[in-house]
Structure 1
Amino acid sequence: MKAPILIIKKLPAAGMAIFPFILVKSAYLKKDQEIINHEKIHLRQQLELLILPFYTFYLFNYLINLIKYQNHDLAYRNIIFEREAYKHETDLDYLKKGNWFGWLRNWKR
């Protein structure tokens, strides 16, 4: 998947995927294969859910996790979409292998 990568210096995270773009905080992160792969996984997830529902479900899952864990970092890391992206960010062939709707496997631990 080829996605335009934009540098946004005031980005609140190292990287972010907002379909169809990958946003990174600095130029050197454009070459960080793991961050780019992580964000490409999010782009795939956004396509799987037809983009807008992804953002709604992502926010809803975060808010439920925030109530559950009472901690931003734990709530964020346990969003089902983040679980898939973090789990496979080092596998640069993950998206080529298919794995559509892989985030569903992270529904329950």
Structure 2
Amino acid sequence: MIIITSKYLIPKGYAAMALFPFLLIKHNGLRFNPTLILHEKIHFRQQAELLVLPFYIWYITEYVVRLVIYKNHSSAYKNISFEREAYANENNTGYLKNRKPYSFFKFI
């Protein structure tokens, strides 16, 4: 994981973004936020399982489908299966050690 700090690379309303192998964060102080770091590490694991490019294709496709369903960016984003898994487990420090492969399927 290579951490890059840039307020210009992160979309408005977001604090960080995992783009394998880079973790883009908006402010340098966020590199010490354990919840944020774990959330993004969960995304790294998801990306690795799907061999990176298929992850992004699935992520964008699921976002578009959910945007049609919910007609709202925030609801569509929060209901993407990858985000649901990350948000549900971002406070569980042992999650990645015990996580089964393709765990995001149960959040679809």
Gapped regions of structure 1 (runs ≥ 5): none
Q: Show structure 1 runs of 4+ deviating over 6 A.
A: none
Amino acid at match of 1:9: K
2:95 counterpart SS class: coil
Q: Distance in 2 between matches of 1:85 and 1:98?
A: 11
Q: Distance in 1 between matches of 2:62 and 2:30?
A: 27
Amino acid at match of 1:79: I
Instruction: Give 1 or 2: higher helix fraction.
Output: 2
2:41 counterpart SS class: helix
Gapped regions of structure 2 (runs ≥ 5): none
2:4 is equivalent to residue 6 of structure 1: yes
Provide the aligned length of Structure 1 versus Structure 2.
105
Q: TM-score, normalised by structure 1?
A: 0.93
Q: TM-score, normalised by structure 2?
A: 0.94
Residue 22 of structure 1 is matched in structure 2 by 23
1:43 counterpart SS class: helix
Q: CA RMSD in A?
A: 0.8
Amino acid at match of 2:101: W
